[in-house]
Structure 1
């Protein structure tokens, strides 16, 4: 396991969620509930920091799950045109 943060694009989240970071300068982002108290956020982030190596940061990092299983593909024929 390398201790390099993943390259991620932070996207807009629903109003009840927010980003928290396990590292400095916006590194190691996680998504947490926005309505947690300050103490709950601190406790959660501390637990996640101590377990950082157990978190799958990418789909390919999840052991036991084939990435092909999680991928959605729509195969269309070249001459297909949608009809109503």
Structure 2
């Protein structure tokens, strides 16, 4: 039988963390006698009403409109000599790529067919129906005083390699990870030898 999920479990994690942080503060004040005239429940309610939670939606860009309603600004790259850009709308919007070897009549027919079926093209993620863009993209929320940094890669020395190998074997033994066939269709990451001969 499926266990019903409580409303607390469905709340976003940052809201739950803020709630428990402030309830602990109120409990400490009640224990010290600063709010002895009010109960713990009413003190929590009052504190939560006065607390100004940070709106995590601030700073987000407005949701883009589909390309057919508002043409996106796309960065057109340089094409080889046998290809060229054609546009389904004026002012260089909704671009497609055609061959330069097409005659004028063939190109006009092709553009006419593409214009009649332009709903089939997906210039941006937001044009794809029935797929939430958050599946394809994600946003990492950070505090105002912090900036994202890319750390350099480090090579493990021989002793640490043995330690990591032992931990991986433990995970393999208990079944947390398992072996898969080294197929291009299955494995997304392949170890390839570098110039120095190491992997």
State if a TM-score over 0.5 links the two structures. Answer: yes
Q: Flag structure 1 segments of 5+ consecutive residues without an equivalent.
A: 69-76
Structure with more contact order per residue of length (Cα contacts < 8 Å, sep ≥ 6): 1
Q: How does 1:55-70 map to 2 (within 5 A)?
A: 55-58=121-124, 61=127
| Deviations 1:11-51 (CA, angstroms, capped at 9, x unpaired) | 10011100001111111111111100000000000111111
The equivalent of 1:46 in structure 2 is: 112
SS of the residue 2:89 aligns to: coil
SS of the residue 1:30 aligns to: strand
The equivalent of 1:6 in structure 2 is: 72
Structural RMSD (CA): 2.7
TM-score computed with the length of structure 1 as normaliser? 0.70
Q: Flag structure 2 segments of 5+ consecutive residues without an equivalent.
A: 1-65, 138-151, 156-193
Give the number of the structure whose alpha-carbon radius of gyration is greater: 2
Moved over 4 A (4+): 59-64
More helix by share: 2
Alignment: residue pair count:
75
Deviation at 1:8, TM superposition (A): 0.7
More strand by share: 1
Deviation at 1:5, TM superposition (A): 1.3
